[in-house]
Amino acid sequence: MTDTATITLSPSAAARVAWIAQKQGKPAMLRLAVEGGGCSGFQYRYGLAESVEADDTVVETDGVKLVVDSVSLDLVSGCVVDYVESLGGAAFKVENPNAVAGCGCGSSFAV
């Protein structure tokens, strides 16, 4: 299923995924999943995806795909996945409008 209104992959995140995928010889496809745990209840998990599953939602930016499973999609609907570089380092960041609380590390949230 493809739904471009549900989640967004920023151009900077797409460029970083493309770079990582090329270095690893894999498709330019980032999987975003949500797991229980982390300091605020849920945590984001990222990884390069080899394929798209039947229940996945897929959005594309600059030829790079962002893949989210149907269970995780409920928790990240409306999100923007970005890649930010700062003095503190560089990392993927999820801007989640559904989160009512987060943690200092930015990888954990509560709804």
Q: What is the domain partition of the chain in residue ranges?
A: 8-110
> Could you tell me the CATH superfamily of domain 8-110?
HesB-like domain (2.60.300.12)
Would you say the pTM of this structure is higher than 0.85? no
Per DSSP, helices labelled H in 25-104 are 70-76
Q: Tell me how far CA of residue 55 lies from CA of 1, 70, 71, in angstroms.
A: 7, 6, 9
Question: Which residue ranges in the chain fall short of pLDDT 70?
Answer: 1-5, 38-40, 101-111
Q: Quick one: pLDDT at residue 4?
A: 44
Q: Quick one: pLDDT at residue 38?
A: 64
CB-based contact 8:79 (threshold 8 Å): yes
Provide the mean pLDDT of the chain: 85
